Amino acid sequence: MVFEHLAAIFIDKFLGNYIEDIDSHQLKLHLWAGDIILENVHLKTNTLNDFNVPLEIITGYLEKLRIHIPWKHLYTHPTKIELDGFYLLVTPKTDVNYDVERKEKEEYESKMKQVQKVEEFRRERELFEKNKQNPHHKDTFFERLQFHILRNLEIEINNIHIAYDDKTTKSYPFQCGITLNYIKLHTTNDQWENFEPTEDSKIIYKLAQINNLSIYWNSNIKSRLDLSKQDIIDDLKSIKQLKYSKTSFILQPLNCQAKLKIAKTAQEQDF
């Protein structure tokens, strides 16, 4: 209990800049069982300030996020990330101040990240060449653990609606947005069929399934900005009714799949 209490304090401190006050009903920790659950939380309206973008959050709401890490069976049981219900409404921010010092700092940090990536690539390349010359090289414990977690990782995201409302020109308000019914990522065999991966699997096959992904743009429509926070959330939740309404789609709701093939080492892919 003490450990879970400390973990809750740490999570609250980490998320405190972005999420409104979290209580024990919203954050549930069952660390020994491997569960972290966050429910019914609201984003702070100033969350985007740190990113220096000309947008302001009107409403941001997360229904449920569950992370399951099977500590006792990391090699054999799936690590799961499940998100169900994320609704966000933003609007243009008119009082944006250009910060020259901040811009220069961001450009410097961006360049340093690029240098770091080049250095990491160089080290990885040297390690690869070294291992290539030593066919009896064995992976470290952390390399094996990382591979097994990736192999067993399952991700499921449901009910997403991110919207932008603009009525700066009162005679011509408009709204646009992205909606998603679900995306699922899970492990398969080499025939892209569900199966339980074995420990000796050298290649990971992942299948991503996307359902009802759409982009819309509505002009001369009543703005959501005049609604209460709860009414905005309820309106954004009506994601499944969009295709039956008078919504103007840039991208009609579509379903698609992506197939990923991940090798444990480059040699196994003949790189």
47-83 per-position pLDDT tens digit? 887 777 888 999 999 999 998 988 877 777 888 999 9
137 in a structural domain: no
Are the C-beta atoms of 34 and 70 separated by less than 8 Å? Answer: yes
Q: For residue 191, how many other CB atoms are within 10 A of its CB? A: 7
pTM: predicted TM-score of the whole model, two decimal places:
0.79
pLDDT beyond 60 at 269 = no
Length of the chain: 271
Q: How many domains does the chain have?
A: 1
Q: What percent of the chain has pLDDT over 70?
A: 78
Distance (Å, whole) CA 169 – CA 190: 54
Q: Which tokens go with 23? A: 């209580």
Distance of CA 194 to the CA centre of its chain: 23
6 in a structural domain: no
pLDDT beyond 90 at 154 = yes
Instruction: Look up the domain containing 223 and give its range.
Output: 43-97+144-269
115 in a structural domain: no
Return the SS3 of 230. helix
Distance (Å, whole) CA 60 – CA 187: 31
* Bridging pattern class, strands 203-219 and 80-92: unpaired
125 in a structural domain: no
70 in a structural domain: yes
178 in a structural domain: yes
Return the SS3 of 62. strand
Which position has the higher pLDDT, 127 or 271? Answer: 127
